[in-house]
Every structure is written in structure tokens, then in C-alpha cells.
Copies of this chain bind each other. A is one copy, B any other.
């Protein structure tokens, strides 16, 4: 859809939902990049050719993880990671989520933030959903980062599969949520760089809670079937 279409037609034809931007030149930061999920995402994105910076509270730990992963990945303290990145994936543990983001408000201003945190509790019956006061981790991020563009994605990935170098393709769709189409398109494009993975627009942030907490169900699936479950959206 060109701007001309917009000007000439009262109701322009719907944009092709698979017409996604080129994101190959963007720098991706991963806060919490020394944890399993963050490491796995950093590895897959770098392997796909993306420039990746791992962030951690301690620069040294980030640098160690980056050196282990190779692929041109760099490590930095969280604030520097945020400053140097165009897109910042938030992969910190839920209990450090609010504090980490609050401290990075100015560094994350103007950035595209991708929250992939799953607020879960665990007891002897397994995992269960925690409901943040803001509705979801992503909505908490949006509340804490008013000058950032906040999206949610990358929830349903197996950190084990992401980190397994012998696996070529990650056979999973990534549900991408957000308020602004340009932002969700960009995150979808980023997901699509990883072989086998596909970013599928899946609604606004107010519907992020169920996407985040569905990880509790995937944990039950994994236990029953001894699997590393993910999701595919059918008919799309």
C-alpha cells in the first residue's frame, strides 16, 4: 500500500500482512541475555545474521556469555546494552522485571521494546499464571516505559531448543502483540529471520496476559509428553 492509495481511496485495500520490513541492519539488545531464554534468543538471532548485544546487571557476566556464544555477539551492562540497541528484548526473570525496566527508562526511551517475560508461579502441582496488577508483564512494561514502543513476543519458545546448536530450524510461531502496526511488523520480521520461525500478529497488549501465561500449559505439555512444546497458528 503506497501513500497514494491512502490519499485516493476512502478505504484503502488492506496491507498484505506478510509485507514486513527489512530489519537486517538493526542492533538487537537482549536484557537478561545471560539467562536461558535470553541466551537462546541471542544465539538464534545472531546465527541469523543479526547484530546482538547481551545485557546483564554485571558487564563481566554479559561479556562472558557473549564470548561463549560467539557469532559477533557483544556483552554489556544493561544500560549500555539498551543505549546501543535499536530493538531491546526483555528476557529478565519476572521478579526483576519492574525494577530492571524502571532503572532503564531513559535508556529505553524511543526504543522498540519486546517483552517476552512470563509471570508464573510454581508449586508442587506445577506452574500457574501470576496476574500482574497492570494486566500482564507487557502492560507493566508499557506503564513503566511511557516513552518506549512496547510490544510482546517470543513467549512460547523452548530455551533448550533455542540453545541446541545441532538444531537448524525452530518449528514454532511467535505471537506478536502490540498497539502499533509498524512496531509489530518489525518484531514479526525479526522473528521471521530465524529459520522455521514465523511472527504472527496476535492482538493488542491488553490480550498479552493469556499469551504470557500459556507457558504454564506448555510446561504441563512438556511434562506429559517429554517434549519441548511450542505453538503453530493454523490456517495462517
User: Interface extent on A, as a size class?
Assistant: 35 or more
| B210 with A209: CB separation less than 8 A | yes
| B202 with A210: CB separation less than 8 A | no
Could you say which residues of chain B place their CB within 8 Å of the CB of A129? Answer: 207, 209-210
The answer for the CA separation of A25 and B77 in the assembled complex, in Å, is 63
| B128 with A207: CB separation less than 8 A | yes
A116 interface residue (CB < 8 Å to B) = no
The answer for the CA separation of A127 and B200 in the assembled complex, in Å, is 17
The answer for the CA separation of A128 and B136 in the assembled complex, in Å, is 13
A183 interface residue (CB < 8 Å to B) = no
The answer for the CA separation of A51 and B125 in the assembled complex, in Å, is 36
Out of B128, B175, B234, name the residue touching A232 (CB < 8 Å). Answer: B234
| A217 with B224: CB separation less than 8 A | no
> Quick one: which of A17, A210, A225 has the most chain B CB within 10 A?
A210
Nearest to A200 among chain B residues (CB) is B221
Known contacts A125-B204, A231-B231, A231-B232: A217-B211 contact under CB 8 Å = yes
The answer for the CA separation of A171 and B207 in the assembled complex, in Å, is 24
The answer for the CA separation of A217 and B152 in the assembled complex, in Å, is 13
Instruction: Name A172-190 residues within 8 Å CB distance of B.
Output: 172, 175, 177
- Chain B nearest CB from A60 CB (Å) reads 35
Out of B172, B220, B230, name the residue touching A204 (CB < 8 Å). Answer: B220
| B211 with A207: CB separation less than 8 A | no
Nearest to A208 among chain B residues (CB) is B217
